Structure formats: C-alpha cells, structure tokens
Amino acid sequence: MAEFDHMANKGRVYLFGDGEFRTNPIHGDDLAEACIDAMRNPANEIAIGGPETMTHNEIAKLAFQESGRKVKICHIPDWIRRVILWSMKRVCNSKSYGPTEFFLIVMAIDMIAPKTGVGLSRNSFDP
C-alpha cells in the first residue's frame, strides 16, 4: 500500500499489464494480530489477507482518492517487467535484487489469501 500511496502522491501510478491482477490487502494491525496468534499457536503456514479483494487498478484509484489527486495510471507492458527482472538478476547482488524481484513478481500475479480483519477501512495509506 505504501508504494501505491507514494506513486499517487507523486501524481502517477505505474502498473504492469492491464492492472487487473487481484489482491486482498490486509491492514498492518490485522497482520500483527495474526503473527502474534501464530507465535502463540505455532502452525506450519500462515495464509491471511484482508476482507476485500481488489484489482491493482482499484487500489491505485483509492490511493489517488486519498491523496486528492486526479487519477493517472500508466500501464506498462509486462515484457518490460520481465526484462527488468532478467537484467537485474545478472547485474545486482541478492541484497538489492531480492526485494525488487519480490515487488515485480507480486505486481504480476493474483495474490488472494483467506479473508481476515477489517481491510482498508482503517485507511491503509496512512504511515
């Protein structure tokens, strides 16, 4: 959410493909509660998401609404994302490549987990 907020505040959100990949963002407070519960009751895997499933386009529009700016979304062809990943893997160390790889992969797949918490109603765009 912070990256969507950052881009919206700068005036333009960049998305790969058509922006229709879906996710169900979870509020940080809900995630923290789930982590504490997991520490108290260890499990093999934790899969949690917020109660609302949204496309990246919808999240971008919400970020613009929060920022009070006009909606400007730039859809970048996915082949550019793949070239960036390929190039970075060859020239960057894992410390810098890893986080970028994670971000670029997450921006190009559906990421939907079991619904938990209150979702974006707590204003997920505030730090």
Looking at residue 30, its pLDDT comes to: 85
Instruction: Work out the burial of residue 68: count CB atoms within 10 Å of its CB; fewer than 13 is exposed, 13-18 middle, 19 or more buried.
Output: exposed
Q: What angle do CA 110, 11, 119 make, to 5 degrees?
A: 40
pLDDT digits (tens, 9 = 90+) for 61-110: 999 999 999 999 999 999 999 999 999 989 988 888 888 898 889 889 99
Amino acid at 81: R
The answer to whether 125 and 66 have CB atoms below 8 angstroms apart is yes
Identify the band that residue 4 occupies on the pLDDT scale cut at 50, 70 and 90: very high
Check pLDDT > 90 for residue 39. no
Helix or strand run (H / E) with residue 75: strand 73-76
To the nearest whole percent, how much of the chain has pLDDT over 90? 50
State residue 120's pLDDT score: 57
Sole residue written with tokens 């009751």: 41
Handedness of CA 50, 59, 78, 99 (dihedral sign): negative
Q: 125 versus 16: which is more confidently predicted? A: 16
For residue 15, what are the β-bridge partners? 75
Q: What's the pTM value of the predicted model, to 2 decimals?
A: 0.78
**127 pLDDT tier (thresholds 50, 70, 90):** very low
- 106 versus 58: which is more confidently predicted? 58
pLDDT band, residue 122 (cuts 50/70/90):
very low
Looking only at the bridges linking them, the beta strands covering 22-23 and 13-16 are unpaired
Are 25 and 1 in contact by the 8 Å Cβ rule? The answer is yes
17-31, 36-50, 88-102: lowest mean pLDDT where?
36-50
